[in-house]
Amino acid sequence: MNKASLNATITKIRAMHGRMLTDEDYRILSSKRSLAEVAQYLKEHPGFKELFADIDVNTVHRGYIEELLRKHDFEIFTQLRDFQHLGGKHFYNCVSERNDTEQLLSLITSIDRGEKQEFINAVPVYALTQSDLDFHKLTECRTIDELADELEHTEYAPLCAGIRRNTSGKTDILALETDFNTFYTKRLMASIKKELSKSDAALLTESVKAGVNIRNFINAYRMKAYFNASPEEIRRKMIPLSGGAADRRIEKLWECDSEEDMLRLMSKLPGVKQAAADSRGFIETAVTRVKLKYARKLMRTQSMPAVYYAFLQLCEIQTSNIIHIIEGIRYGLEPDRIEALITY
């Protein structure tokens, strides 16, 4: 499909983008004092009117609102992907593939803990219908080794060695999380390079790398600030970057002695230095704001894959913001404290 014909999808995305929550909406939502008020506001908002139409704001469960919002994001992804029949390309299945990765990790963790019920309770059925994996069969596995046997015949086969219990009879869940995330990122980067034009790929590679950097940075900062982790421990938990000069500069962050040093070094790094200068709220939110900025920048381009990817990220940030607001209200935080938690 040529670039011009994909403009229809761009137009559709821009129309959907226009119905997203604005800064003013976030300010109003932060000042609400109950879940019912938030749900009522969303129920009247053009972007959520249809989604919340049948919800009784007085009885609805907080968890159900979160699930609805996530489902909404997933439906947006399938709608856009199927609008011009783009499902044949790996890249346009990125959300579904990421969901598979997350659900597999969750299943492994729950089997490892012997609490498979937890996985079943939380599993998003709407997403599994889009998956190539037979989750119904996978949930019947009683042990991690059984699960690894099942996965041997899927595209996740390269990860099976890590999934199986090691000689001490344990599964290193944290290492596995890094393996899964790295696997997902590498597949995404490979599909971008293989399936998209060079200019589109350049835009998206930058964005994906920025996303990886942000995720790595937040994890590293937390490990350093809350657990005083060593550079080696941090490095093990990071999704490896491609090794270019810019990436090597970012990697120096892991070697910092303290979180203050991390911030100091960060203020010199292009791309994330704004986060160090941002005085609003928490550093995690400030870093996510950089991701938001990238996504907004991509939204302005005429590259359909870039606009598609950016919009999915914006939806994700919006959902995460609403969840933060709901949680803030649940814990009785003041409006300005809630505002500091959200990315806008």
Q: Is 309 left (phi over 0), alpha (psi -120 to 50) or beta?
A: alpha
Cα–Cα distance measured from residue 201 to residue 303, given in angstroms and rounded to the nearest whole number: 10
Cα–Cα distance measured from residue 9 to residue 304, given in angstroms and rounded to the nearest whole number: 7
Does residue 88 belong to the site contacting another protein (CB under 8 A)? no
The distance of closest approach from Cβ of residue 336 to another protein in the complex, given in angstroms and rounded to an integer, is 6
User: Between residue 138 and residue 157, which ones bind another protein under the rule CB under 8 A?
Assistant: 139
Nearer to another protein, 46 or 243 (CB): 243
| DSSP one-letter string for 222-244 | HHHHHH---HHHHHHTSPP----
Q: Alpha-carbon dihedral of residues 197, 85, 99, 198, nearest 10 degrees?
A: 0
Place of tokens 């994906």: 208
Spell out, one character per residue from 61 to 80, where the chain touches another protein: x when CB under 8 A holds, - when not: x-xx--xx--x---------
Nearer to another protein, 238 or 286 (CB): 286
User: Between residue 324 and residue 343, which ones bind another protein under the rule CB under 8 A?
Assistant: 334-336
How many binding residues for another protein (CB under 8 A)?
A: 47
Does residue 267 belong to the site contacting another protein (CB under 8 A)? yes
CA distances to 213, 273, 322 from 276, rounded to whole Å, are 14, 5, 24
Query: In this chain, which of 232, 300, 331, 332 binds another protein, going by CB under 8 A?
Result: 300
Does residue 263 belong to the site contacting another protein (CB under 8 A)? yes
Nearer to another protein, 54 or 232 (CB): 54
CA distances to 96, 98, 187 from 90, rounded to whole Å, are 10, 12, 9
| DSSP one-letter string for 4-50 | GGGHHHHHHHHHHHTTSPPHHHHHHHHT--SHHHHHHHHHHSTTTTT
Does residue 121 belong to the site contacting another protein (CB under 8 A)? yes
Nearer to another protein, 67 or 172 (CB): 67
Does residue 264 belong to the site contacting another protein (CB under 8 A)? yes
Query: In this chain, which of 46, 137, 168, 198 binds another protein, going by CB under 8 A?
Result: 198
Query: In this chain, which of 46, 56, 114, 331 binds another protein, going by CB under 8 A?
Result: 56
Does residue 126 belong to the site contacting another protein (CB under 8 A)? yes
The distance of closest approach from Cβ of residue 172 to another protein in the complex, given in angstroms and rounded to an integer, is 27
Q: Which positions touch another protein (CB under 8 A)?
A: 24, 31, 53-56, 58-61, 63-64, 67-68, 71, 120-121, 123-126, 136, 139, 197-199, 243-244, 260, 263-264, 266-267, 273, 275-279, 283, 286, 297, 300, 302, 334-336
